[in-house]
Chains A and B, each alone.
Chain A
Amino acid sequence: MAARRQVRWHIAVFLAPAVAIYTALMIIPLFGTLVQSLMNSDGQGGHMFVGLRNFSTLFGDALWSKQFWNALGNNAWFFVVHMLVQNPIGVALAAILSTPKLRMAAFYRTAIFIPTILSFVIVGFVWKLILSPIWGIAPGMLDMVGLKSLFTPWLGKEAYALTTLALISVWQFVGIPMMLIYAALLSIPDEVIEAAEMDGITGMSQFWKIKLPLILPSIGIISILTFVGNFNAFDLIYVAQGALAGPDFSTDILGTFLYRTFFGFQLQLGDPYMGSAIAGAMFGIILVGVCIYLFGIQTRLRRYQF
């Protein structure tokens, strides 16, 4: 027996492509952005180190901080709508799909998942058309059931626009939690279910008492994916409402605020330094959120081994 452990080169070789691509495309740009957020223009075409001055402008200057908190607040609401609507519906759909008695389950599964693979541009455009007060089918459909009075131009009203967009996003992405939970439900061993049935636990109470605790880790993962996805969101708002995120910035989220600042808009010139500061703040928010989940919640979740 050899005393020395062999150097296992194949591990490094197999990891190398992923590490190289991930470093080049994610880690280097991320640190580049963070470094840039500590810089600012020196007025002569170059840049200089300014420490945390960009961040103090972002949080201290009323003009900037008002926009930032508005975007953060909207973003939080966007996330809340997803957590309250998308994930419960996703879990419910998965539970229904996994009941053996359901016919055409594969069809429903595919139909519900299809919007997820559509481009944001298509989704935004289609929903804008559906909800259009002029050409849309929404006013007509409400009229058919006698609820025409409920129709308003949702995307144009400050009170409704953000919630409407959040629900459109829910419609698009509800397939993801559904698929993940569906997979988790299928992986519950039959013996556990049979044992429950022996003890007289069936139907709804079986779901609440047996299945739900077993899929809690999956729900946790979905929550954190939703969190990261929502706080990085940009496309749908940009497609539907433009970079000014109207009406009156009521749909402005961190992504659109970042875009406007970084690249500029119309006569507003882009400011890569303040843009990087916003990107840095977004990174911080997501990092804190993920850490709270990882250390505060995930470690306390009880896991079951079969």
Chain B
Amino acid sequence: MSNTFRMALLTSTLLAGPALAETTLTIESWRNDDLTIWQDTLIPAFEAKHPDIKVVFAPSAPAEYNAVLNSKLAAGSAGDLITCRPFDASLELYNQGNLADLTDLGAMANFSPVAKSAWQTDDGAATFCVPMASVIHGFIYNADAFAELGIEVPQTRDQFFAALDKIKEDGTYIPMAMGTNDQWEAATMAYQNIGPNYWKGEEGRLALIKGEQKLTDAGWVEPFAELARWKDYLGDGFEAQTYPDSQNLFTLGRAAIYPAGSWEISGFNTQAGFKMGAFAPPVGAEGDTCYISDHTDIAMGLNAKSPNLEAGKVFLDWVGSAEFATLYANALPGFFSLNSTPVAMEDPLAQEFVSWREKCQPTIRSTYQILSRGTPNLENETWNASANVIRGSETPEDAGKRLQEGLASWYEPQK
């Protein structure tokens, strides 16, 4: 054993305390796309500072994550660190005693109350996950196609549909790449993308939670009415088009506009061979306040039954640090750090997305906080309704009425 190594080992042991010697932490996550980033960038950066803690990133498929995680937690075989979905899914885990209370964690000071709101008890007394990133909705477009067809980046809804008409008329490109097969795109990347401009972001969302607005009100039905118009601009057979199909259609240059979440940026950067740009959801009329969905999406918590609680806290403290924020935001452009320290990002597309925070009012997805606590689940119903409306098998009014009935059946303020 070399002397340097012995010294290093000794120092680390002294610094971290004997309890931490040779600890392995396992991270549960749904972000299987990020496996290489964790393995090549994030984990080595952490392990360089804490050689006594080994970290393993063990993701499962996104659609199965919640089910898999719940079963693992019930069986006691879940990892030490748990990637937290926002709001009720994680709150329920905390209430069941599966997530440890992290209110006193030092790194929590680096986050604003809004950033923490998605992982707190309703009264804000306890915080149980360290916020990692938010995602912003908007539209990514093929800048080469726009230049070729002489289309200006649309600011208003009329310009948006005029642009779509022009692309359709030309016929070289599918105007918009989206399918309804997987349903969630219709809700997340369509309804929650354009919706905040109609229901005025936080104003409408909070009014819905308080019971002052209903899903049958104009602000909540009009986005469905716009979705119904999208149908004509989607590709042939969009009914059976899946999420990866849409991604490929866009990155292969066959479609001009992609209703997006900022999480697509890193994938698109490697896949697409053309210049891309992004625009925020178009507003009703020139000069209207714009609203964007800046959704607190991902955080990390600690399995309360983990045998490595201390090491887990050391790791989470690092996740809450400015160093992690910079590494993460640049390794994954499109996942915008929630850390109060400003993070310099190099990706132009990510910069464009984040610039909307300056001029638009941010909100989170309307169905996530409180409103998806009951059965029927408003988020899942919204998937179904959005897909139905785009396919034309349900009218916007019927969809609004059905969602309202479902919500009112269990949510007291809406009764």
Contact = CB atoms under 8 A, between A and B. Distances in A.
Interface in A105-147: 128, 131-135
Given A155-B181, A246-B183, A267 B88 contact: yes
A40 B126 CA distance: 28
Contacts of B181: 155-156, 241, 246-247
A265 B67 contact: yes
A259 B67 CA distance: 9
A147 to B, nearest CB: 16
A255 to B, nearest CB: 14
B173 to A, nearest CB: 14
A270 B380 contact: no
A282 to B, nearest CB: 18
B240 A267 contact: no
Interface stretch (B259-267, B282-290, B355-363, B383-391): B383-391
Given A248-B384, A248-B387, A263 B393 contact: no
B70 interface: yes
Interface stretch (B217-225, B231-239, B346-354): B231-239
Contact of B237 (A45, A133, A244, A246): A133
Contacts of B85: 267
A152 interface: yes
B192 interface: no
B335 interface: no
B253 interface: no
Contacts of B66: 263-266, 269-270
B226 interface: no
Given A156-B239, A246-B180, A246-B181, A266 B387 contact: no
A157 interface: yes
B96 interface: yes
Nearest to B237: A133
B129 to A, nearest CB: 16
B240 A156 contact: yes
Contact of B367 (A134, A264, A267, A269): A267
B133 interface: no
B101 interface: no
A29 B127 CA distance: 37
A152 B377 CA distance: 31
A247 B257 CA distance: 24
B245 A135 contact: yes
A268 interface: yes
Interface in A131-186: 131-135, 152-158
A269 B240 contact: no
A246 B70 CA distance: 24
B59 interface: no
Contacts of B308: none
Interface in B368-415: 368, 372, 375-377, 379-380, 383-384, 387-388, 391, 393-394, 406, 409
Interface residues of B, number: 46
B240 A154 contact: yes
B388 A264 contact: no
A243 interface: yes
Contacts of B87: 267
Contact of A264 (B67, B180, B237): B67
A45 B96 contact: yes
A63 interface: yes
B241 interface: yes
Contacts of A268: 372, 375, 377, 379-380
B71 interface: yes
A248 B389 CA distance: 10
A72 to B, nearest CB: 19
A249 interface: yes
B182 interface: yes
Interface in A222-264: 241-244, 246-249, 259, 263-264
A263 B71 contact: yes
B67 A132 contact: no
B387 A153 contact: no
B156 to A, nearest CB: 31
A271 B182 CA distance: 23
A242 B183 CA distance: 9
B387 A134 contact: no
A25 B384 CA distance: 36
B247 to A, nearest CB: 12
A284 to B, nearest CB: 22
A134 B88 contact: no
Given A133-B236, A133-B241, A264 B70 contact: yes
Nearest to A248: B388
Interface string B234-256: 01111111100100110000000
B172 to A, nearest CB: 16
Contacts of A152: 237
A164 to B, nearest CB: 10
B1 interface: no
A269 B393 contact: no
Nearest to A139: B237
A134 B67 contact: no
Contacts of B67: 259, 263-265, 270
Contact of A266 (B184, B235, B394): B184
Contacts of A271: 375
B235 A244 contact: no
A63 B406 contact: yes
Interface in B96-149: 96-97
In order of increasing CB-CB distance, the 9 nearest A-B pairs are A133-B237, A156-B239, A153-B240, A156-B240, A263-B67, A153-B237, A268-B377, A267-B379, A267-B372
Interface of A: 45, 63, 128, 131-135, 152-158, 241-244, 246-249, 259, 263-271
19 contacts: A45-B97, A156-B179, A156-B240, A156-B391, A241-B181, A244-B383, A246-B183, A246-B384, A248-B384, A248-B387, A263-B70, A265-B66, A265-B67, A266-B66, A266-B377, A267-B88, A267-B89, A270-B67, A270-B70
Given A128-B242, A266-B380, A269-B88, 13 more contacts: A133-B237, A153-B237, A153-B241, A246-B180, A264-B70, A266-B379, A267-B87, A267-B377, A268-B372, A268-B375, A269-B66, A269-B89, A270-B70
